[in-house]
Amino acid sequence: MKNYLTIKNIKGILSPGELLSGNFGFEKEGLRVNNEGKLALTPHPTIFGDKLANPYITTDFSESQVEIVTPTFNSIQKAYQCLSFLVDIVNTSIADDEFIWNQSLPCILPDDHEIPIAEYPRKKGEASRVYREKLAEKYGTKKQMISGIHYNYSLSGETIRKLYDNYPGKLSYKAFRNALYLKITRNYLRLKWFIIYVTGASVAAHETFTSECLRLMPEEDEYGSYYSEHGPSYRNSHIGYKNLEKLYPRYDRLEHFLEDVKGYINDGKLSEAKELYTQIRLKPVDRDNYLESLYSDGIEYVEVRSIDINPFEKSGISRQDAEFVHLFLVYLLLLEEDESDVKWQEEALYNEEIVAEKGFDNSIRLLRNGEKIRLHDWADEILAGMDEMNTLLDLGKDELIRVIRDRVEDEGKTYAKQLEQIVENRGFIPSQLSIAVHNKDTSIELIDLETIYNNVELEEVYSKSLPNRKD
């Protein structure tokens, strides 16, 4: 596998369309807030029905934390259209005086014990409730209110089959597919800092958030919030929502990964597999039986979890960034791996956190195979490699790469720096509340049921996402 998944080999096997084909889905978390920017303590709206039964609109940790989940589509365009549509549904279905906080770090929070844990029907939802109660006790409720975008991706089955049919080795099809996704995962973990830098947008927090976060933010606005000029993503910093103990499962073989996760559970380091908070997750067919399904069915897709909510986009992520993340994952599939004996996962975590907290400080150095390297030098190498892949494989993504290169070369074009200026001038809570209100008004203007019924896929999404609507 090491010498097979390369640009040179792929050029003779896959067309550009085949390499770029895939399956895509998004998940977006968002807090319901009132017109003062405070967490709404009202129950999850009844119009969305049973949280355990609604496949598209549910809750995450809190009763006040809406989670949107799109179905899987065979193009980013379709998945993004569905995400935007679901955002509009949520915005127009919640109470008139409530809004969705379009920001990774939370709004004005009440005391820890007043943050409402998601409620579920007795018996059927008991396990979900108990799991959340344990998380609240272990990590605190305020950290649970951090929100983000999750990006689900797989190559198309036809593309994997064609790669497998041309593979000269002796792996089974399932083992080959596992190896393919494990390579993407390893390379993503090594380079996750880059995505954090170019998509980071969490630089401020209200004084009601955790004190350990506020200590990292030396600047104050006039409305009870703190912010920092040093890093792009405090959601991904060391004070973000992470395991209390640093865990480094093996990703060389799926069997080793499963063995390590089971060991963490047996040792009491994790209550169950989904408590392993990694920046990218291996996902099976049956998510309710995670370990068993991974073992029997193999890896079905990967879930990227590093992306902050973009406060400048109603959907929480721009279409352009969604396209770039896809191109980046394709690049990771073909990228030659470092085979140093250095503890690469420890280095990767160090890079993740120093970039998140101090990425705009030119004096910082990242670690690569035991040596120090400037952030911009490494970023230039990544973009040069993506440029080479784009040119040699005729992918037609020149403009997309140029936009991200501009963002790297001019930090003023990053979302984090733009947000920092807004917070400095208008305050964190007032500015983000204004965005939430604007997004709701925009959704009211955009929602068009006649358009829905001309799109079979969206019609089904509409029907299932609002089971208790009154037509």
pLDDT per residue as tens digits for the range 3-45: 899 999 999 999 999 999 999 999 999 999 999 999 999 999 9
CA dihedral 67, 68, 71, 73 (to 10 degrees): -130
Strand-strand pairing, 225-227 and 204-206: antiparallel
Q: What is the pLDDT of residues 348-377, one digit of tens each?
A: 999 999 999 999 999 999 999 999 999 999
The DSSP element (H or E) to which 132 belongs, if any, is helix 126-139
Count Cβ atoms within 10 A of the Cβ of residue 244 and give its class: 0-12 exposed, 13-18 middle, 19 or more buried: exposed
Asked if 362 contacts 231 with a C-beta cutoff of 8 angstroms, the reply is no
- Domain boundaries of the chain, sorted by first residue: 7-455
d(CA 78, CA 24): 9
- pTM comes to 0.96
DSSP per-residue codes, 313-327: STTSS-HHHHHHHHH
Query: Going by C-beta distance under 8 Å and a sequence separation of 6 or more, which residues neighbour residue 364?
Result: 354, 355, 358, 375
Q: What is the pLDDT of residues 135-169, one digit of tens each?
A: 999 999 999 999 999 999 999 999 999 999 999 99
Asked if 94 contacts 34 with a C-beta cutoff of 8 angstroms, the reply is no
pLDDT (0 to 100) of residue 455: 75
d(CA 426, CA 179): 49
The DSSP element (H or E) to which 373 belongs, if any, is strand 371-373
Distances (CA, A) of 261 to 128, 271, 276, 281, 287: 20, 10, 8, 12, 15
pLDDT band at 58 (very low <50, low <70, confident <90, very high): very high
Fold of 7-455: Creatine Kinase; Chain A, domain 2 (3.30.590)
Asked if 346 contacts 373 with a C-beta cutoff of 8 angstroms, the reply is no
Q: What is the pLDDT of residues 159-216, one digit of tens each?
A: 999 999 999 999 999 999 999 999 999 999 999 999 999 999 999 999 999 999 999 9
Asked if 365 contacts 374 with a C-beta cutoff of 8 angstroms, the reply is yes
DSSP per-residue codes, 76-121: HHHHHHHHHHHHHHHHHHS-TTEEEE-SSS--B---GGGSPBPP--
Asked if 461 contacts 124 with a C-beta cutoff of 8 angstroms, the reply is no
Asked if 62 contacts 118 with a C-beta cutoff of 8 angstroms, the reply is yes
Query: Going by C-beta distance under 8 Å and a sequence separation of 6 or more, which residues neighbour residue 330?
Result: 19, 20, 389
pLDDT band at 69 (very low <50, low <70, confident <90, very high): very high
Burial readout 437-457 (b: 16 or more C-beta within 10 A, e: otherwise): eebbeebeeebeeeebeeeee
Asked if 212 contacts 357 with a C-beta cutoff of 8 angstroms, the reply is no
pLDDT at 471 exceeding the cut of 80: no
pLDDT (0 to 100) of residue 1: 73
| Helix (H/G/I), strand (E/B), else coil: 183 | helix
pLDDT at 123 exceeding the cut of 90: no
d(CA 328, CA 383): 9
pLDDT (0 to 100) of residue 64: 98
